[in-house]
Amino acid sequence: MKVKIRIRQPGTGNANYNQTSFLLKHNQKGSDSIGSLNKFGESVVTSERGNYTYGTKDEDPVFESLSKTLDKMLFIRYGQVKLDEFMFMMTYRYADGNVMLMGLKESGFTLNGRKMSKAVMLSILSRVVYRSCFCDSAIVLNSYIQSLMEVPPNVRYAIENKCPYYFFPPNETNPYRRSKVEVRLSVRRISKTHCAMELSENIWASIGIKELDQFLNVYRRNKRQSKRWVDINPRNLWIELFGETPSDSEHKMMVAWMLQNRTDKMIEDTAKGLMWEVARENDNINTFYFGKYGNDGKMIKNTRKLGMLVSGQLCDWVLIENAAAKTSPQRVSIYCFHEDPERVDKTTTHIAKKKFLNGELHGPICVNNSVGNVSLGDQFVSRVFTLMNDRLALQKVGTLRGYIPSDALSGKSHRINMKSYAKWTSKKTKKGKTK
């Protein structure tokens, strides 16, 4: 049978879907149990956007939802009855050849002859299906599949973003109370079957890709099936990977080094560094600090916040750090800049009153991240890149449309006076108030 999958785009209306088609053979299911038939004889399956996961570490909602759709389509007979044994074949046909994926469940799960868990299989299949929406070459898609088979998505994530891990170090003041510490450990691929994990400064331990995937299921997915890795402390992690007990000095150095690599601090520092790097590389982007000042001309402690300016195709935008929680998808407030004839030569700002240099700010505008626990710096940068092409952003992000100047679409540009901005920032810098 021919199957067409429609994948809901994140952050868009019901009419916006990515689509892909493939041939499916399934020894336990027919077209009547896959999806509804259209006039072309295709079984149509729709994967809606998953729920927002603001406070969790779940997969990207698009992949998470697609995995659930494929699970129901391939692994489940009717309702919630799972198939005990089955075999399926998915075939993509392109001008330069065919791409085939063969899945099998007997004593375990197998994809293209390689044994793996069900979760890994669904993770690979969801990425292949989504990639095929934008691919028209068998060579390209086969290469992508080979890469996923060698390095599962879980492990790929760790290589790109470091491996999450947590432990409970002893509390010197109260031995009966321990606080959870989340860290990130560097991971490198060293062969087709193994990676290396940094356990202490410049001390790397070899770990199999399969074992690393199981480790990530515990510390990234919060699964507890693997007794080998669940709640393993640093000392036992060293023993497990090196096969020997660390000395007292090695253990102390390991714990101290891990404490320096706490997740929150590491991610925030890296992402904020990205903000300044993006501003240096783009003339239409500026980064600044602001806050409340006392009578002595110095910024009041704990009031300093970040801000960014971005010049879009239609108008200028001001992004301001707000007081939302770290797990919030809205830690950055977006304002659209409107010129004000009465403030042409002003070099002052008052964010609370929405006054900014030669104009005023309209907003804040609600724009969500599709997942939670996104660092402040990453939220800034993702919004900046979106607003650089604000003409296209207006078509994709509906909440922006009501805040742009009414004459912006007809050619009137509303721009921040950069000479006034330079005077404002230089004035603060001279007083030691701005970095």
Q: Is 223 inside any structural domain? A: yes
- Best CA proximity match to 330, nearest among 363, 293, 287, 294: 363
Number of compact structural domains in the chain: 3
Same domain, 110 and 208: no
Same domain, 331 and 379: yes
- What pLDDT, on the 0 to 100 scale, is given for residue 24? 93
Q: Is 170 inside any structural domain? A: yes
Give per-residue pLDDT as tens, 71-128: 988 888 766 778 888 999 999 999 999 999 999 998 889 999 998 888 889 999 999 9
* pTM, entire model: 0.66
Q: Is 340 inside any structural domain? A: yes
- What pLDDT, on the 0 to 100 scale, is given for residue 366? 79
Q: Whats the size of the chain, residue-wise?
A: 435
CA neighbours closer than 13 Å in the CB half-sphere of residue 51: 5
Q: Is 154 inside any structural domain? A: no
Q: Is 347 inside any structural domain? A: yes
Same domain, 275 and 422: yes
Same domain, 101 and 198: no
- Taking a C-beta distance cutoff of 8 angstroms, is the pair 414, 316 a contact? yes
Same domain, 67 and 113: yes
Same domain, 125 and 226: no
Same domain, 329 and 248: no
Give per-residue pLDDT as tens, 313-353: 899 999 988 877 666 777 888 999 998 888 888 877 887 78
Q: Which residues of 320-347 are buried (b: 16+ CB within 10 A; e: fewer)?
A: bbeeeeeebbbbbbbbbbbbeeebeebb
DSSP-derived secondary structure for 12-67: S-TT-EEEEEEEEEESS--GGGT-EE-TTS-EEEEEPPPPPBTTS-PPPHHHHHHH
Same domain, 237 and 273: no
- What pLDDT, on the 0 to 100 scale, is given for residue 95? 94
Same domain, 321 and 423: yes
Among 261, 282, 299, identify where a domain stops: 261
- What pLDDT, on the 0 to 100 scale, is given for residue 261? 74
Among 100, 121, 149, identify where a domain stops: 149
Expressed as residue numbers, the domain containing 142 is 2-149
Q: Is 435 inside any structural domain? A: no
Among 205, 233, 261, identify where a domain stops: 261
Residue whose entry in the numeric block shows the structure tokens 């009547």? 32
* CA–CA gap between residue 6 and residue 20 (Å, rounded): 7
Is the bond leading into 364 cis (omega within 30 degrees of zero)?
yes
Residues of the chain with pLDDT under 50: 12-14, 54-57, 429-435
Residue whose entry in the numeric block shows the structure tokens 């994709």? 396
Q: Is 387 inside any structural domain? A: yes
Same domain, 92 and 42: yes
Q: Which residues of 52-85 are buried (b: 16+ CB within 10 A; e: fewer)?
A: bbbeeebbebbbbbbbebbbebbbeeeeeeeeee
Angle (deg, nearest 10), helices 153-161 and 118-132: 80
Same domain, 346 and 310: yes
Q: Is 224 inside any structural domain? A: yes
φ, ψ (nearest 5 deg) of residue 128: -65, -45
- What pLDDT, on the 0 to 100 scale, is given for residue 332? 87
Same domain, 57 and 179: no
- Taking a C-beta distance cutoff of 8 angstroms, is the pair 181, 167 a contact? yes
